[in-house]
Chain A
Amino acid sequence: MITGSPFMAMKNIDKSFNGVPVLKNVTLQVEKGEIHALLGENGAGKSTMMNILGGVHNPDNGSIYIEGEEVKMANPRISQEQGISFIHQELNVVADLKVYENMFLGSELRNKFGFLNVEQMCRETHDVMETLGVDIDPKIYVRDLDTSYKQLIEIAKALLRKSRLIIMDEPTTSLAEHEVNRLFELMKGLKKSGVSIIYISHKLKEIKTVCDSFTVLRDGELIGTGSMEDQDPETITRMMVGKAVSQERYVHDNPFGDTILEVTGLSCEGLFKDINFSLRNGEILGFTGLAGDGRTELFETLFGYRKKYTGQVKVKGKPVAIDHPRKALRAGIGFVPKNRKENAIIKDLSVIHNMSLSSMGNFESKGFLQDKMEKERFQHYKGILNIKVHNPEVTIDKLSGGNQQKVVIAKWLEAQTEILIFDNPTQGIDVGAKQEIYQEIVALSEMGKAVIVLSSEAQEVIKVCHSINVMYQGEITARFDGKTANEEEIMHYATGSKREAEKIG
């Protein structure tokens, strides 16, 4: 593979923060026109590595070469001038600006009077979009576009700046399957035109389909690098976590109890319609589908976050009108939402206080909160959920994603909920911790809790659910037994290419 000097090479990089080594003698080489996967769990040092390449941090030791010449990436501007673009996980597009305004943000074209040259910017935007094979009106507002198009704008922006190396940090987390495919087509196109891509992701399947070579980091050290073709996913996973991750189902055939939740004819204009399902104690029910299938909205409604709906919800046989999360909690429903940072954690509160937030009454004596009781209770959950935290009095944003998620789970356990809804429970959580979350979910069902898992990854629901509902455009289009379900079948119903309405009942 290595002929002459690679397009970009970071050699023997060392970096430590406050005396803690984060990168130890790491080397990364990317050829011209290749898609290179940078792999590793959260905290393995991937972001630090990329921040060094982007000129955000300076390495303690080691050097960076572009086309064989050493470059000091002292600040982000130098990195940009070298043709390196960074597309962050959280997209940096301004929703209230138009497409072309986003494209030229910070480097607007001006005419000879110093005014904005809108026409030319639109024309160039259009041209770049055309090379990417999409047709977007440059004058449309970004807020009116799908997420995948926002990603596209970022990529187009990178192309516009004549980028030669694009770093993509988990670009597919917020994309639906067909959008992912579009992104991959695009990446392959870029590759052909000689642009190199560093692709950071946890999803091995994606990496296998799109990447040419890989580098694995673990705990700041280089574990392995090579061509993608020679490696099977299990080996790479083992490199990442230091042990093999099983592909087996986590869920067992545990006996179900009584029906606890019954939903009949639940509809909400424009979001979902005629949803029927029931849930028993000890059962794990999965919901999957593509983005825009309405599953998140459905369960936000069930949790009282959305108020307008028709249809009936029965908990333990009694009809309940849920128009506020408080009422959902009273009915015994807990909700672990997606996008943890925005929806689930209170980042200025300590770990303990996040745990106790939904059940303050448990920690009161004569109207005053008892710190000691909260602490003791937290120790209890720390034990059973294996929450890794040195000092639970620190704010929750200091914890890793997996541990944050466990604290959110603890919050609902403490609130004595019987029905637990998980929306994308492993979003932004690294491979090892994912397994733990799956195990927790299964353990909850074995404790007799009724569990609902929503996920855009069909694999995930197959792993943890007894039965699976597939949604398409706000309707349940198919039901599968978890044991016999396979990803391919599910995708047929999720994309709407097959419908099986009569099977439901």
Chain B
Amino acid sequence: MANTNAKEYNPKSSSTKSRLSWLWSEYSVIIAFVIIFIASAILSPRFLDMNNQLNILMQVSIIGIIAMGMTVVMLSGGIDLSVGSVLALAGVVSVLALNASGSILVGIFIALLVGSFAGFLNGLMVAKGRIASFIATLGMMAAARSIALYIADGGSVSGQVTGFTAISNSDLWIFDVPVIIFFIMTAAVYVLMHKTRFGRYVYALGSNEKAALLSAIRVDRIKIGVYTLIGALVGIAAVIETSRLNSISSSSSGSQYELDAIAAVIIGGTRMTGGRGKIIGTLFGVLILGILNNMMNLTNVSPYLQGFVKGLIIIIAVVFQKRE
């Protein structure tokens, strides 16, 4: 056996073959993106306008940042439904801190802290409490929203510190700052997932938790880390959201963000049960959602029908993944 099989060794042919299939699995979402992009350009002359393009990026930046965290959570085999509510809570608390301290840095820090802490609690519930992530984060979703409403008395809170709005309303070269933050976060999460042991452990855990544990990985800590990470990213998103209009609504801000973020991750090709998926896929998933929203506005599709189109795209995306 040992001798006969050794002859078959032929690295070249097998690696080009696997590279081809890798290209396909890697780029199917990009191909979809290109098709949608071209179709949009044909359907609406205004689509290709530079300002419109930059506008799309600006509009997806908040969901994009959250979706990066969601990718990590879903790769670990979990889900986080609490992102929208936590965003509202982090926003409300940080604006209060901002106004009380007069310091923008304190405001940002508090937003990150609230987001991370909520994520940490989610992680604790999932890892140590052995509660299914869907349930744990569903609870957090309700609780965080409720606390935000209580603190803001059901209304909105506005910043009273000049310069705070500059975060979301200034630009570097041609890009708005939120877009740049989105890109930086994408790159950071990419490096985290592919170049550090944390990322490797997340993939391992999502693919086979028991084997990961039996490989001496501290599975519980990784899980807590995963939820804390998405919490921190939600904190960043909360700062951008708040800064954009200098106010945050305890009742409506962040509402249904979890659905858009999950949709982007799924369109990007990440497997619902974890272990397989790519950050780049999510990036293009986010962009596809952004273009769809933009196109529906440009072509005057009734806003009531936009959810329908989005739902359709998600389902089509999943059907395509099953085929592969």
Contacts and interface: CB of A to CB of B under 8 A. Distances in A.
A250 interface: no
B195 A368 contact: yes
B208 A391 contact: no
A193 B275 CA distance: 49
Interface of A: 41, 241-242, 303, 305, 324-326, 328-329, 335, 337, 342-349, 353, 356-358, 360-361, 364, 367-369, 386, 388, 390-391, 393-394, 411, 415, 432-433, 436
A433 B218 CA distance: 32
Contacts of B8: 390
Contacts of A325: 213-217
A415 to B, nearest CB: 7
A386 B2 contact: yes
A171 B15 CA distance: 37
A305 B200 CA distance: 21
26 contacts: A324-B218, A326-B216, A342-B211, A343-B211, A343-B214, A345-B208, A348-B203, A348-B275, A353-B200, A356-B200, A357-B200, A360-B200, A361-B197, A367-B196, A368-B196, A369-B196, A388-B6, A390-B9, A390-B10, A390-B11, A391-B18, A393-B15, A393-B18, A394-B14, A411-B215, A415-B216
B279 to A, nearest CB: 15
A343 B191 CA distance: 28
- Can you list the 6 inter-chain pairs with the closest CB atoms, starting with the nearest? A360-B197, A329-B216, A348-B207, A432-B1, A390-B14, A348-B275
Contacts of B218: 324, 326
A360 B276 CA distance: 20
B204 A346 contact: yes
B210 interface: yes
Given A348-B207, A349-B203, A368-B195, A433 B1 contact: yes
A344 B213 CA distance: 9
Interface residues of B, number: 33
B132 to A, nearest CB: 17
A382 to B, nearest CB: 10
B162 interface: no
A346 B212 contact: yes
Given A357-B215, A369-B200, A388-B6, A342 B208 contact: yes
A415 B215 CA distance: 10
Q: Is the interface of B mostly helix, strand, loop or mixed?
A: helix
Contact of A391 (B1, B15, B206): B15
Interface string B1-43: 1100110111100110010000000000000000000000000
Contact of A335 (B2, B6, B9, B214): B214
Contacts of B5: 388
Given A368-B195, A369-B200, A390-B10, A357 B217 contact: yes
B276 A348 contact: yes
Contacts of A390: 8-11, 14-15
Contacts of A393: 15, 18
A72 to B, nearest CB: 28
A344 B102 CA distance: 54
A369 B195 contact: yes
A125 to B, nearest CB: 33
B118 to A, nearest CB: 27
Given A326-B218, A335-B214, A358-B216, 6 more contacts: A346-B208, A346-B212, A360-B197, A361-B197, A415-B216, A436-B1
A328 B214 CA distance: 10
Contacts of B197: 360-361, 364, 369
Interface string B122-164: 0000000000000000000000000000000000000000000
A335 B9 CA distance: 30
Given A324-B218, A326-B216, A346-B212, A241 B204 contact: no
A353 B211 CA distance: 13
A364 B201 CA distance: 14
A368 B190 CA distance: 12
A326 B1 CA distance: 36
A391 B215 contact: no
A17 B217 CA distance: 38
A346 B9 CA distance: 24
Contacts of B15: 390-391, 393
A318 B241 CA distance: 56
B204 A349 contact: yes
Contacts of A343: 210-211, 214
A343 B195 CA distance: 25
Contacts of B206: 348
Nearest to B205: A346
A11 B213 CA distance: 48
Nearest to A243: B1
A353 B201 CA distance: 10
A333 to B, nearest CB: 9
A352 B5 CA distance: 20
A296 to B, nearest CB: 12
B194 to A, nearest CB: 8
A391 B217 CA distance: 26
B204 A357 contact: yes
A436 B196 CA distance: 34
Nearest to A431: B1
Nearest to A433: B1
A359 B204 CA distance: 13
A347 B216 contact: no
Most buried by B among A343, A344, A390, A415: A390
* Among B10, B18, B201: residue with most chain A CB under 10 A: B18
Nearest to A334: B216
A342 B207 contact: no
A327 to B, nearest CB: 9
Q: Which of A241, A344, A391 is packed against the most chain B CB atoms within 10 Å?
A: A391
Nearest to B13: A390
Given A368-B196, A369-B195, A305 B213 contact: yes
Contacts of A368: 191, 195-196
Contacts of A324: 216, 218
A350 B39 CA distance: 37
A347 B214 contact: no
Contact of A358 (B1, B196, B215, B275): B215
